[in-house]
């Protein structure tokens, strides 16, 4: 019997907010499309069927306006084949932190 990891004690140190934002992401296997399913100040979950491995560095490209995108870099901390992967952000600069705050504020409304 497979244990459902979604139930039980919350393992995250910060609250994640549900979103549905189309993104592109790029890992070792190339560039793919996906959907940001949830996000927090520390990480996110990307829905998509791409092939990633735990520990892999992935770039996510989030649309901001007029076709422009901002890049976030993170480490895959959990992946589920054909469903998606959890990403822990690494090395966020001020512009990325600012956009992240806007996304989080928007998700709370």
Helix (H, G, I), strand (E, B) or coil at 94: helix
Burial class (CB in 10 A: 0-12, 13-18, 19+), 103: buried
Helix (H, G, I), strand (E, B) or coil at 51: coil
Which two structure tokens, joined as six digits, stand for 30? 């190339």
Structural domains in the chain, CATH included, are 17-108 (2.40.10.220)
Q: What is the pLDDT along the chain (109 residues), one digit of tens a residue?
A: 444 444 444 455 678 888 899 999 999 989 999 999 999 999 999 999 878 999 999 999 998 878 889 999 999 999 998 899 999 999 999 989 998 998 888 877 7
């Amino acid at each position: 019997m497979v244990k459902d990891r979604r139930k039980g004690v919350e393992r995250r140190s910060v609250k994640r907010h549900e979103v549905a934002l189309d993104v592109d992401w790029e890992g070792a296997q190339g560039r793919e499309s996906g959907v940001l399913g949830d996000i927090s100040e520390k990480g996110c979950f990307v829905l998509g069927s791409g092939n990633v491995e735990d520990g892999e560095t992935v770039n996510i490209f989030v649309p901001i306006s007029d076709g422009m995108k901002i890049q976030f870099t993170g480490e895959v901390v959990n992946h589920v084949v054909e469903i998606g992967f959890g990403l822990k952000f690494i090395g966020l600069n001020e512009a990325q932190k600012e956009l992240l705050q806007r996304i989080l504020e928007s998700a709370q409304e």
